[in-house]
Amino acid sequence: MKIGVLALQGDFIEHESMLRRLGVETQEVRLPEHLQNLDGLIIPGGESTTIGKLATDFNLIEPLRDFGREKAIWGTCAGAIFLSRDARRSQPLLSLMDIRVERNAFGRQVDSFEADLDVPRLNAPGSESRLYHAVFIRAPLIEEVGPQVEVLARLQDGRIVAARQGHLLATSFHPELTEDDRFHAYFLRLAGKQETIVACEES
């Protein structure tokens, strides 16, 4: 399996390290041709307006949209914003996921925080459930999801911080900054077993 990491801006190196730890080949993506032969792509955290502007300058917007129609993409934090169809302000977006996000939703004073999340999809069947420790840095909130979108995790107050639409995944937080590799492993399952997932949803 080979997974690309969009390497225009942000913390792409941490994602690459986590993927290598899981035994996956990685490819830094800066140009459309770097998307060839990939099984999936991660869009890292950083600054979503900058990522969008650079993606426009490098002629990546349409190639990324085409890629996401068929293959798995995971956006973390700024990457989740870039994947969304609506960020409530004008900036380049891929508009692949039917989610509306609110940027910097947790206010200026509290730019960063950590929270333990219940994410049922990360627990192996039959095993005991284990909370997922999530790191939020000037994080967006997923404030609205379309009918095709599955909510994967919420904060204690019910606000949505992780969601999936078919093979597309969005998390408000940064799994690449922790030691817990379960979200990366989950994404690899989305990237590798798309047919199985579709079949499960239909049954």
Is the CB of 3 or the CB of 51 nearer to ligand GLN?
51
Strand 132-137 relative to strand 112-117, pairing: antiparallel
Active-site amino acid positions: 77, 174, 176
For residue 98, the minimal CB distance to ligand GLN (Å) is: 19
DSSP-based three-state secondary structure for 20: helix
The stretch among 23-31, 46-54, 64-72, 155-163 that binds ligand GLN (CB under 6 A) is 46-54
Give me the least distance between CB of 122 and ligand GLN, in Å please. 21
Q: Which of 4, 14, 15, 46 touches ligand GLN (CB under 6 A)?
A: 46
Which of 24, 78, 162, 188 is the binder for ligand GLN (CB under 6 A)?
A: 78
User: Least Å distance between CB 125 and ligand GLN?
Assistant: 32
Contacts of 53 (CB under 8 A, 6+ apart): 92
CA distance linking residue 101 with residue 91, whole number of Å: 13
Q: Is 77 in the site for ligand GLN (CB under 6 A)?
A: yes
Q: Taking the complex as a whole, how short is the minimal distance between the CB of residue 139 and ligand GLN, in angstroms?
A: 6
Is the Cβ–Cβ distance between 66 and 33 less than 8 Å?
no
138 binds ligand GLN (CB under 6 A): yes
The C-alpha atoms of residue 118 and residue 123 are separated, in whole angstroms, by 10
Number of residues that bind ligand GLN (CB under 6 A): 11
Q: Buried b / exposed e across 169-192, counting CB within 10 Å, b at 16+?
A: bbbbbbbbbbeeebbbebbbebbb
Residue closer to ligand GLN by CB (options 30, 138) is 138
Between 160 and 166, name the residue whose CB sits nearer to ligand GLN: 160
Contact between 170 and 153 (Cβ < 8 Å): no
Residue with tokens 């650079």: 54
Query: Whole-number minimum distance, CB 97 to ligand GLN, in Å?
Result: 15
Place of tokens 């005991």: 128
- The SS3 of residue 29 is strand
Q: Which of 81, 96, 183 is nearest to 132 (CA)?
A: 183
Among 45, 52, 63, 175, which residue sits at the site for ligand GLN (rule: CB under 6 A)? 45
- 98-137 residues in contact with ligand GLN (CB under 6 A) are 103-104, 137
The residues binding ligand GLN (CB under 6 A) are 45-48, 77-78, 81, 103-104, 137-138
